Amino acid sequence: MPKASHHDLRFAFRELLASGSCYHTASVFDPMSARIAADLGFEVGILGGSVASLQVLAAPDFALITLSEFVEQATRIGRVAQLPVLADADHGYGNALNVMRTVIELERAGVAALTIEDTLLPAQFGRKSTDLISVEEGVGKIRAALEARVDSALAIIARTNAGVLTTEEIIVRTQSYQKAGADGICMVGVKDFEQLEQISEHLSVPLMLVTYANPNLRDDERLARLGVRIVVDGHAAYFAAIKATYDCLRLQRGQQNKSENLNATELSHTYTQPEDYIRWAKEYMSVEE
């Protein structure tokens, strides 16, 4: 079977956005996981920023990974991927000019689409890590991203955090990003279908939701009717890999009978050492996580 080009995969992702169905992403974090996801029939994969931080740095999701590190991982995946891969490009690694560089590098890496969010990252001195930039700055980032892409098939998706805004504020932001030319709108923190309906009736571009398996949003047909084309449930595959590594090495070391048997969440917390980062943030930035 002939290998699909990066442009082919971008076109395939565009077809998903134009369809009337809702698709769930496979969490891909290296070339092997991308090949597995494609072989199992997933229509789209996602390289999450938080997962890349774990994979590359063994660090919590505190915007510590750099653009070059993220691009390197995306490039490794892009060499072999035979499904469209959506890259979580965080805030574009800086201002609108940095966003342009981010788009250029990730397009070369072979991703089919990327999200640019309006979170104020990294967290500023004395500010919370969930603060958002202004709508105007967010619009500037989307416009810059569109200017920087070469392959028009590459999808630029604007992302915002619905969990820290009123519904009215979400509508204003998402409409502004749609007007700026975003190919889709991604939202994290949508509470339920009632809120989603209120937002979606003001939008005409395809929607993407990061739900983390929110039980109040588990109805693919209803999601599809409201314009949702892509759903990110989370990154269970990577955490399962952490757990499998831990269990294998415990067994190899002859410690399988010990009472300590941590689950994937506990393992991630233990080995990313978030307490250190939180302590440093409090000491040097006065930021409460």
Question: In sequence order, what are the residues at sequence separation of 6 or more whose Cβ sits closer than 8 angstroms to the Cβ of residue 32?
Answer: none
Could you list the residues known to form a binding site for Mg(2+), using ranges: 88
Torsion angles phi and psi, residue 142, rounded to 5: -65, -45
Annotated binding site for substrate: 50, 159, 235
Both ends of the chain: CA-CA distance in Å? 49
Per the CB < 8 A criterion, the answer to whether 112 and 273 are in contact is: no
Encoding tokens for residue 227? 């314009």
Instruction: Pick out the residues of the known binding site.
Output: 50, 88, 159, 235
DSSP string, 164-232: GS-HHHHHHHHHHHHHHT-SEEEEE----HHHHHHHHTT--S-EEEE-TT-GGG--HHHHHHTTEEEEE
**The residue type at 279:** R
Burial 57-73 (b: 16+ CB within 10 A, else e): eebbbbbebebeebbeb
* CA pair distance 128, 179, nearest whole angstrom: 28
Peptide bond into 60 cis (omega under 30): no
